[in-house]
Amino acid sequence: MQRILVVDDDRDILDVLELILTDKGYEVDTLTDGHLLFDKIKQKRPNLILLDVMLGGMDGRELCKEIKLSPATKNIPVILISASHTAQQCNDVEHPNDFIPKPFEITQLLNSVQRQLVA
């Protein structure tokens, strides 16, 4: 079973994403605090990370950059999600594997997740 780590400081968004992804057969772990990201990655070993850009005082784009620069995590696909940033603003920092604007469409979300897990 594919494991997805969803990182967002909004508990309601986490609940919605967890429901959608679990319903499609994915194993989902959630995290509200970006400071714990690398501990959670080491513990859960996700196949994919859905990462919000605005994480209550942290920048998800910087976390994405750290993930992509670390030899231990660079091969984990990262999909950035944001209500306040564009794909271009996110690609300028470090290239995520994909970008989804909020509010997201369920079909778009699921298609992006599937594309990244197959790649």
Q: What is the DSSP string of 40-52?
A: HHHHH--SEEEEE
| Predicted confidence (pLDDT) per residue in 58-115, tens digit | 989 899 999 999 999 999 999 999 876 555 554 555 678 998 988 889 999 999 999 9
Using an 8 Å Cβ cutoff, are 34 and 76 in contact?
Answer: no
What is the number of domains present in the chain?
A: 1
Cβ(100)–Cβ(109) below 8 Å: yes
pLDDT tier for residue 119 given thresholds of 50, 70 and 90: confident
Domain that residue 55 falls in: 3-118
- What confidence category does residue 13 fall into, taking pLDDT thresholds of 50, 70 and 90? very high
Nearest to 96 by CA among 19, 73, 9, 12: 73
Model pLDDT, residue 88: 55
pTM of the model: 0.92
Q: What dihedral angle (degrees, nearest 10) is formed by the CA atoms of 55, 59, 41, 66?
A: 180
- Domain with residue 81: its CATH number is 3.40.50.2300
